[in-house]
């Protein structure tokens, strides 16, 4: 196979949306929304605009409703103030010639009562606590995650409708599309996985039943903005947030086939363990890719060289980079000329202000 080092920097047509290169800034939780309002602010707009050299930016995970929140100071997209804050961000990116999708998020059981309306228990498919997990609360401390409340069957339609309303708000805020967060052990993956879904109604039990919630969310979102402006993020074998399934291939192959039938713009797949080993359990991501005819976006520990190989081989359409984009706002330019990269300051990842957020230097 001949590797073309320039292939990362060629344009890509994403179902009619022209991306200037194949590099994607992955969604990155940074906990810097306005406390109390959970709205983006001018500092967030500056941060994203610095990184508008990416072909596509996917926003940090953004809660679809007040009950979808799982961490302090993460942004929402259900209030007017939040929509206005996100408009600052999208305007700043578009002024730089960039494109951005909103990642819509419901954490499910990965939350804490202090982050929920009226200090209620977080909701999930089943009342199963994630083992050994904690979350970051408004006091600035980490708090252990307890047992969630199982959603009543009558409540599920309302949760799906929250995704629909959040999609409407994303369009009002100027986003170019929406990515549904169905990865990393949050609510949609909790429905997909037999380790967290013990329901006995038509949202649990069989594979088809466990796929139902994800597919209904996809249908609600794509009905609002079109499948060509809708993507989804999956992490079939990650163990983060104590998520697991006894036979992930039996879940994700039919899920991807169903997503293909719904003609989404892309699937964004985390290969292996999030921020960890790429080869977990022998899962065949190349075979999974063959089930989908849309754009295939890959993620997890990709370097410049791995990205060039993935696209040159025809396996990937786009490559998403996470922490490399935190420390290198001009990552696309650095990769293009193979320049050295800034080191990441892991002490400033979550919370705070400009330090470790907007002060990473670009190339001269």
The residues, ordered by sequence, that sit 6+ positions from 208 with a Cβ below 8 Å of its Cβ are 254
Spatial contact of 328 and 341, defined as CB atoms under 8 Å apart? yes
Q: What is the C-alpha separation between 20 and 52, in angstroms, rounded?
A: 10
Structure tokens belonging to residue 71: 């961490």
Cα–Cα dist 165/75, whole Å: 15
Euclidean distance between CA atoms 154 and 150, whole angstroms: 11
Residue 56 parent element (H or E):
strand 56-58
Please give the Cα distance from 255 to 247 (Å, whole number).
13
- Rounded-to-integer distance, Cα 260 and Cα 248, Å: 18
Buried b (16+ CB within 10 A) or exposed e, 178-202: bbbbbbbbbbbbbbbbbbbbebeee
Q: How far apart (Å, rounded) are the C-alpha atoms in residues 244 and 256?
A: 18
Rounded CA-CA distance 364/249 in Å is: 47
Tokens linked to 207 = 């594979």
Q: How far is CA 4 from CA 305, 314, 330, in A?
A: 10, 12, 21
Task: Dig out the tokens for 326 from the structure.
Answer: 């935190």
Whether 357 is catalytic is no
Catalytic residue among 71, 163, 186, 203: 186
Q: Do the Cβ atoms of 213 and 156 come closer than 8 Å?
A: yes
Distance (Å, whole) CA 294 – CA 351: 36
148 and 127 in contact (C-beta within 8 Å)?
A: yes
Residues annotated catalytic, as ranges: 186
């Amino acid at each position: 196979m001949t590797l073309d080092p320039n292939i990362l920097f060629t344009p890509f047509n994403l179902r009619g949306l022209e991306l200037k290169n194949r590099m994607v800034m992955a969604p990155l939780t940074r906990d810097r929304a306005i406390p109390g309002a959970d709205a983006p602010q001018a500092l967030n707009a500056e941060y994203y605009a610095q990184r508008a050299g990416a072909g596509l930016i996917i926003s940090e995970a953004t809660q679809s409703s007040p009950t979808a929140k799982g961490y302090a100071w993460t942004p929402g997209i259900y209030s007017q103030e939040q929509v206005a804050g996100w408009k600052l961000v999208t305007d700043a990116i578009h002024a730089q010639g960039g494109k951005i999708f909103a990642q819509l998020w419901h954490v499910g059981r990965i939350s804490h009562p202090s982050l929920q309306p009226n200090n209620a228990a977080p909701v999930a498919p089943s009342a199963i606590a994630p083992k050994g997990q904690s979350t970051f609360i408004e006091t600035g401390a980490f708090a252990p995650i307890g047992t969630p409340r199982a959603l009543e069957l009558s409540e599920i339609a309302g949760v799906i409708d929250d995704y629909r309303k959040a999609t409407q708000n994303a369009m009002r805020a100027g986003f170019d599309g929406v990515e549904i967060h169905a990865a990393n052990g949050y609510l949609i993956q909790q429905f997909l996985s037999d380790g967290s879904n013990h329901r006995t109604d038509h949202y649990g039990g069989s594979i088809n039943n466990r796929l139902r919630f994800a597919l209904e969310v996809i249908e609600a979102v794509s009905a609002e903005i079109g499948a060509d402006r809708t993507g989804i993020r999956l992490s079939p074998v990650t163990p983060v947030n104590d998520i697991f399934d006894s036979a992930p291939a039996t879940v994700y192959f039919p899920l991807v086939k169903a997503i293909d039938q719904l003609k989404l713009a892309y699937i964004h797949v985390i290969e292996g363990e999030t921020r960890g080993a790429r080869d977990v359990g022998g899962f065949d991501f190349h075979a999974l890719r063959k089930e989908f005819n849309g754009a295939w976006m890959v993620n997890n520990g990709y370097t410049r060289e791995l990205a060039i190989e993935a696209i040159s081989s025809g396996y990937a359409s786009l490559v998403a980079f996470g922490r490399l984009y935190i420390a290198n706002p001009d990552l696309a330019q650095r990769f293009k000329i193979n320049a050295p990269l800034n080191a990441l300051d892991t002490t400033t990842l979550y919370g705070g202000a400009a330090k470790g957020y907007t002060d990473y230097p670009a190339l001269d």
